[in-house]
A and B are shown apart, each in its own frame.
Chain A
Amino acid sequence: MTDKTDEKIINFMRLRFIATILSVVLVAGSIVSLATKGLSWGLDFTGGTLIELVYDNPVSTEEIREQLVDSGYTDAVVQEFGSAQDILVRMPGEDPGLARVLSELLNDQYDGVVEVKRVEFVGPQVGEQLREQGGLGMLLALGMVMLYIAFRFQFKFSVGAVLALAHDSIIAMGLFSVLGIQFDLTVLAAILALVGYSLNDTIIVYDRVRENFRKRRKGSPVEIINVSLTQTLGRTLATSGTTLMVLMALFLFGGEMINGFATMLIAGVLVGTYSSIYIASNLLLYMNISREDLVVPVKEDEVDERP
């Protein structure tokens, strides 16, 4: 092995203590916000009725709210959905007939035409069931991933990857809590996608760390991690960049229905990229990773026809 030492190595780990503090603050802040403010659960989770209306002229949500309150529907949430002509009404209550009553009521009090574009009536017990299933799926997925990494790498890596993952999802959810964006099923799907993305990112860094520990005879763990991060930096930036480009396209042009999804993933990719550089590697150092953890004979002599 000929090491070219003239390669400039960025000292990422110089900032490891600052990164630790930053992450602790972000995670703690997210947990506080999640505990106090909570998430603004969407219809999928709370149950209730959602009606999307299209007015033929721009209307004010304030007026519609007043009309509904006057008619006794005090709990209705009225919001614009994309434009001042598209209105979304959400309310508790699981009567499917409610949508018809409401649309008739609003049509009566409006000069033009109100068209009902979408009606959703969701029972809360399904929300509960989904929450349970989603949580269960998450735990199961984490368990499988831990096993896989422990098998392919070493258990310190699997602990690091999963902690980094928890870090990312907690911060992404915290952001949703702070901003008060509605948390619906597509957002949940986005969190799970973020789990996939962030893991992929972490694994690729870990892969290089493993390789360098085995390949390089000298150098402290901090140095080895710095070398690995420098080597993968180009790839990390390129991938995050392209993924972000696609997500921005989704965010800007994908329509209101996947807005939450795109927002969550953009946050997720940013946090995920940061954490695979600073948190995942940092955690390895906190667990005192050493060359001895990875002494598996490297098969250097194999000449295989891998693609």
Chain B
Amino acid sequence: MLNRYPLWKYLLIAFVVVLGFIYSLPNLYPDDPAIQISGSSSSTVLEPAVLERAEKTLNEAGIAIKAAEGDERTQMIRLVQADQQQLARSLVKDALGDDYVVALNLAPTTPDWLTAIGAYPMKLGLDLSGGVHFLLEVDTDRAVKQRLDIANSEIRAQLRQERLRYRTMPEREDGARQLAFLDAATRNAAQRVIARENPDLQVETDDQGERYVVSFGFSEQRIRELEDDAVRQNLTSIRNRVDELGVSEPLVQRQGRNNIVVQLPGVQDTAEAKRILGQTANLEFRLEALPNAARTSTEAFSFRDERRPDALLERDIIITGDRVSSAQSNFDSESGQPQVNINLDTTGGRRMNDATRGNIGRSMAVLFIEQKPTTRVETQEIDGEMVRLEVPGFREEKHIISLATIQSALGNQFRITGLNSVAEASELALLLRAGSLAAPMYFVEERTVGPSLGAENIKMGVDSTLMGLGLIVMFMIVVYRVFGLLANIALTINLMLLLAVMSLFGATLTMPGIAGIVLTLGMAVDANVLVFSRIREEIKLGRPIQRAIHDGYDRAFISIFDGNITTLLVGVILFAVGTGPIKGFAVTLSIGILTSMFTAIMVTRSLVNLVYGGRRDLKKLNI
């Protein structure tokens, strides 16, 4: 019998539709504007009194509270009106003081039974929700150079230990370090030592007349690894810092080779966000120079608190802060003095041990390195015109934060004592934990979208989508009658499935994404139009009605398939190479094509079958 689906097909379609309905449902529950209170350090416990104080403050200001919930770490106060959110935040912040972080948030109102089955609303992109977007570029060259500096220090120590005399030479143009030796035998011995102790270095020899030179640098592959590590580590540090900001659903993501994207929904105070993100700090551990040390091997640094006189440190770096795996501040059980307990990773521990074993009684300094962003004005010729350009850059500042005597050989675990105060200890611990970046970064992009602009965008996007949908619905009914009605039902199911799939995948809806939805809706109609006009053609050719319906679907299927697959190809490639808005568009387009193929082919067919299937008495089709 023509045009009858087996029962399992109807069931399958019904199952998908019900599933789509459930998973698109959370999007109907709008988020509550809320403020979120948490302790400024992870160990702070929120006493009930804190919440009471916050609620009292809001009540006094006449800000209506919908509900308060949370645990002893984070409390969320839901507000009734969105435009009071900013005010509420600053009031509560003032009332609670610096021990607490007060952030803006949007609290979901999805019912528990939906979240229990993993149904969450779609996330909104910054252009729809408001907030800030930063693009940071990691200076990976600097990271590689720093690593080579450390290797260089180690090699010189190794050569001294083997009693091989060398002379330092300027860096080669490609960045490789060079050491000169007096004769070929020493040079060869040195080359062997360097190659043995540093398997990740590329060691070359090069004789320039009297000079017997060994040069070493990282291989291309090793450089890429180091760059990767640097970006990854910066990513982790930024995540830690963003957590400090207390933003709900922040996005910290690597983009391309050395860029990092940070999106903070709901944040409007860019200055504060930038201050915390942009504190590109790093640490170095160095030995204090001996009084009789050669001037070329030492460097003078000032202290951060500027009360103490400058100290002379060795040029050689023992380790940098990225070798620190954890750090806590506490008190020495015997003396009661503040101290910081530090854990290093394996490599860091080995290096620290090597450096301190023979130097007990000397002092070791912890240097704090900051990259302060600067802009330099440059005149450049563009299109024959002299244009003043502001070039972003950064200035490096290094200060000593602690200088303490080495009591015994250090390993993976050690402590820094001799700190001035508890505050200094906890700051040092914090910087060691979250503050160390493997490479400096600077801001390449910054976008701020106001919350009102976001709301406006949503409204316009939704309105125009609905309007477009309305026009299509009318058009289809006028042109294709009953079939048009069935197509409209399918179209609605399509929109629902699209939302469900996007919600399930955790895709982010952006403005171009809405445009993508609108476009897929327009194109989804195409599949139906193809089928229906084909059925009309078949009827005109004089086929029996049931045959015409069957052949119409059959023939149109090939066109729909070819057309959609090519568009899908474009969508997938856009997703793969695109960034930001293009990606948002590609996601909705690709998902939309898949869901519209399902609805236009399977769902309308099942509806047509239900209405007309198996009816022999059908003489005329209202199409």
Interface string of A35-46 (1 = CB under 8 A from B): 000000000000
Interface of B is mostly: helix
Give complex CA distance A201, B529 in Å: 13
8 contacts between A and B (CB under 8 A): A52-B453, A119-B447, A134-B578, A189-B582, A192-B570, A203-B563, A254-B515, A255-B457
Chain B 138-155 interface residues, beta-carbon cutoff 8 Å to A: none
Query: Is A229 among interface residues, defined by CB-CB distance under 8 A?
Result: no
Chain A residues, Cβ within 8 Å of B553: 306-307
Q: Which of B135, B567, B576 contacts A199 (CB 8 A)?
A: B567
Query: Is B270 among interface residues, defined by CB-CB distance under 8 A?
Result: yes
Give complex CA distance A42, B579 in Å: 16
Chain A 176-211 interface residues, beta-carbon cutoff 8 Å to B: 185-186, 188-190, 192-193, 195-197, 199-201, 203-204, 207-208, 211
Closest residue of B by beta carbon distance from A147? B569
Query: Is B243 among interface residues, defined by CB-CB distance under 8 A?
Result: no
Give complex CA distance A201, B146 in Å: 56
Chain A residues, Cβ within 8 Å of B529: 235, 238-239, 242
Known contacts A4-B542, A254-B461; decide if A207 and B577 are in contact (CB<8 Å). Answer: no
Give complex CA distance A1, B210 in Å: 94
Give complex CA distance A115, B579 in Å: 30
When the two chains form their complex, are residues B577 and A239 in contact, meaning their CB atoms are under 8 A apart?
Answer: no
Q: Which B residues fall within an 8 A CB radius of A?
A: 127, 135, 137, 256, 259, 270, 274, 375, 387, 389-392, 443-450, 452-453, 456-457, 460-461, 463-465, 467-469, 471-472, 475-476, 479, 511-512, 514-516, 518-519, 521-523, 525-526, 529-530, 533, 536-537, 540-542, 553-555, 557-559, 562-567, 569-571, 573-574, 576-582, 585-586, 589, 601-602, 605
Give complex CA distance A189, B127 in Å: 16
> Which of the four size classes fits the interface of chain A?
35 or more
Chain A 65-120 interface residues, beta-carbon cutoff 8 Å to B: 92-96, 115-120
Chain A residues, Cβ within 8 Å of B460: 253-255
Chain A nearest Cβ from B227, distance in angstroms:
16
Give me the 9 closest cross-chain CB pairs, A-B, nearest first. Answer: A246-B468, A137-B577, A123-B444, A243-B522, A255-B460, A196-B567, A249-B468, A200-B563, A249-B467
Chain B residues, Cβ within 8 Å of A141: 569-570, 573-574
Give complex CA distance A195, B565 in Å: 13
Give complex CA distance A117, B256 in Å: 29
Closest residue of B by beta carbon distance from A1? B541
Known contacts A2-B541, A235-B530; decide if A193 and B453 are in contact (CB<8 Å). Answer: no
When the two chains form their complex, are residues A245 and B471 in contact, meaning their CB atoms are under 8 A apart?
Answer: yes
When the two chains form their complex, are residues B512 and A121 in contact, meaning their CB atoms are under 8 A apart?
Answer: no
Give complex CA distance A255, B467 in Å: 14
Chain B nearest Cβ from A133, distance in angstroms:
5
Give complex CA distance A133, B554 in Å: 39
List 13 other contacts, CB 8 Å, given A93-B390, A118-B453: A94-B390, A96-B270, A120-B447, A145-B566, A192-B574, A193-B519, A197-B567, A199-B563, A242-B526, A245-B475, A246-B522, A254-B460, A255-B460
Chain A residues, Cβ within 8 Å of B573: 137, 140-141, 144
When the two chains form their complex, are residues B471 and A196 in contact, meaning their CB atoms are under 8 A apart?
Answer: no
Chain A nearest Cβ from B463, distance in angstroms:
6
Query: Is A17 among interface residues, defined by CB-CB distance under 8 A?
Result: no
When the two chains form their complex, are residues B533 and A129 in contact, meaning their CB atoms are under 8 A apart?
Answer: no
When the two chains form their complex, are residues A234 and B533 in contact, meaning their CB atoms are under 8 A apart?
Answer: yes
Interface centre among A149, A208, A239 (most CB of B within 10 A): A239
Interface string of A11-54 (1 = CB under 8 A from B): 00000000000000000000000000000000000000000100
Chain A 250-265 interface residues, beta-carbon cutoff 8 Å to B: 250, 252-255, 257-258, 261-262, 265
Give complex CA distance A203, B475 in Å: 24
Chain B residues, Cβ within 8 Å of A189: 512, 515, 574, 578, 581-582, 585
When the two chains form their complex, are residues A120 and B448 in contact, meaning their CB atoms are under 8 A apart?
Answer: yes
Chain B nearest Cβ from A7, distance in angstroms:
7
When the two chains form their complex, are residues A306 and B519 in contact, meaning their CB atoms are under 8 A apart?
Answer: no
When the two chains form their complex, are residues B512 and A261 in contact, meaning their CB atoms are under 8 A apart?
Answer: yes
Chain A 198-236 interface residues, beta-carbon cutoff 8 Å to B: 199-201, 203-204, 207-208, 211, 231, 234-235
Give complex CA distance A208, B457 in Å: 41
When the two chains form their complex, are residues A96 and B559 in contact, meaning their CB atoms are under 8 A apart?
Answer: no
Known contacts A136-B577, A238-B479, A241-B475; decide if A196 and B571 are in contact (CB<8 Å). Answer: yes
Chain B residues, Cβ within 8 Å of A95: 375, 390, 392
Give complex CA distance A243, B553 in Å: 22
Give complex CA distance A140, B529 in Å: 30
Known contacts A246-B468, A254-B461; decide if A94 and B392 are in contact (CB<8 Å). Answer: yes
When the two chains form their complex, are residues A129 and B522 in contact, meaning their CB atoms are under 8 A apart?
Answer: no
When the two chains form their complex, are residues B570 and A196 in contact, meaning their CB atoms are under 8 A apart?
Answer: yes
Chain A residues, Cβ within 8 Å of B571: 196
When the two chains form their complex, are residues A239 and B570 in contact, meaning their CB atoms are under 8 A apart?
Answer: no
Chain B residues, Cβ within 8 Å of A119: 270, 446-448
Chain B nearest Cβ from A73, distance in angstroms:
11
When the two chains form their complex, are residues B456 and A255 in contact, meaning their CB atoms are under 8 A apart?
Answer: yes
Query: Is A294 among interface residues, defined by CB-CB distance under 8 A?
Result: no
When the two chains form their complex, are residues B515 and A261 in contact, meaning their CB atoms are under 8 A apart?
Answer: yes
When the two chains form their complex, are residues A134 and B472 in contact, meaning their CB atoms are under 8 A apart?
Answer: no
When the two chains form their complex, are residues B559 and A197 in contact, meaning their CB atoms are under 8 A apart?
Answer: no
Give complex CA distance A101, B443 in Å: 18
When the two chains form their complex, are residues B570 and A2 in contact, meaning their CB atoms are under 8 A apart?
Answer: no
Chain A nearest Cβ from B105, distance in angstroms:
21
When the two chains form their complex, are residues A249 and B447 in contact, meaning their CB atoms are under 8 A apart?
Answer: no
Chain B nearest Cβ from A299, distance in angstroms:
12
When the two chains form their complex, are residues B577 and A200 in contact, meaning their CB atoms are under 8 A apart?
Answer: no
When the two chains form their complex, are residues B390 and A117 in contact, meaning their CB atoms are under 8 A apart?
Answer: no
When the two chains form their complex, are residues B475 and A242 in contact, meaning their CB atoms are under 8 A apart?
Answer: yes
Query: Is A130 among interface residues, defined by CB-CB distance under 8 A?
Result: yes
Q: Which of A93, A195, A246 contacts B518 (CB 8 A)?
A: A246
Interface centre among B460, B519, B533 (most CB of A within 10 A): B519
Chain B residues, Cβ within 8 Å of A201: 563
Known contacts A121-B445, A265-B519; decide if A306 and B450 are in contact (CB<8 Å). Answer: no
